[in-house]
Structure formats: structure tokens, C-alpha cells
Amino acid sequence: MKSINPYLGFNGNCEEAFTFYKSVFGGEFSGMQRFREVDDEEAKKVLKPEEGEKIMHIALPMGKDNFLMGSDSPEALGETKFGNHISISVHADSKEEADKLFAGLSAGGQVTMPMADMFWGDYFGMCTDKFGFQWMVNYSQTQQK
């Protein structure tokens, strides 16, 4: 397997969330499409005109071969329901990077477990961002994962 790319679903605030994630992780979006750009007559039939500016697909590079991806859910597909059993795990290259990422992701959200040296030897913390997604930030001093 080359990579795993988390795909996040939103109820209309995908662009806001990804602008936030971009401010935390840096980089540029490798792709962003809005529903108004859909060139499919069947899809256009279910989209409301006011949904045209919503995000159909967005991708933010996360390292060499990974992307954080997402989209808004059109009303015709029903409301996106958020679960509490999914976390996104980020592996930093240093303690400093881990602290920076954790501070950014937890801003406006909730810290579940502050960054700290753990019994298994890694530097680790958990938080829920202001959009309701759970993050695990890890730095392994012995081996990058």
C-alpha cells in the first residue's frame, strides 16, 4: 500500500476547515473543485443552485505521498453525520513540529491528551479540532512511522 488518505465529509464548511488545516500544515491545495464545476447533467439535476460554491473535492498534500481530502455533502445526499471513532494520526519529524501541529489543530477545539512523553517512548497528544475531527499527533524519537 502506497498511502492512506483520510477523506473528511462536511455540511457546508469544507472550505473553511481546509483553509484552517492549510494554516496548520502549510502547503498548497493540489486540487479544489466546486459543485458549480460539475459537467454532468444527472448530477446537476440533484444540486441546488445555492450549492454551487460548496466544495465537491479538495486535497491538501501531507508529506510525500499522502493527502488530506474532503468535500461538502449536497443536500440530496443527506446530512453528514460525524462519528467519534475515527482519528487522523499525524507523525511529525521533530518534537518542535509535533508541538506546532498540535497547537494549531487544537486551537478553538479541545485537548483530549496534552503532548507528552509516553510510556512507549514516543511524544504524543490527542485533540479534537474545532470542526469535530479527532487528531493524534506523534513523534517517535527511535523510529519514524
Percent share of the chain, pLDDT over 90: 50
Residue that terminates a domain, selected from 47, 75, 103: 75
Amino acid at 32: M
The verdict on 54 and 102 lying in the same domain is: no
Total structural domains in the chain?
Answer: 2
The verdict on 136 and 97 lying in the same domain is: yes
The domain of 65 spans: 7-75
CA distances from 68 to 30, 88, 90, 119 (A): 10, 9, 11, 29
pLDDT for the residue numbered 74: 81
Q: Single out the residue of 89, 82, 76 nearest to residue 126, CA to CA.
A: 89
pLDDT for the residue numbered 83: 59
Beta bridge partners of 69: 7, 59
The verdict on 19 and 65 lying in the same domain is: yes
pLDDT digits (tens, 9 = 90+) for 9-52: 888 999 999 999 999 999 999 989 998 887 777 777 778 888 88
The verdict on 108 and 55 lying in the same domain is: no
- Domain holding 28: CATH number? 3.10.180.10
Q: Mean pLDDT, to the nearest integer, of 46-73?
A: 88
Residue that terminates a domain, selected from 75, 103, 129: 75
Cα(63)–Cα(25) distance, integer angstroms: 10
- Band (pLDDT 50/70/90 cuts) for residue 1 is very low
- Band (pLDDT 50/70/90 cuts) for residue 82 is low
Domain for residue 2, yes or no? no
The verdict on 64 and 91 lying in the same domain is: no
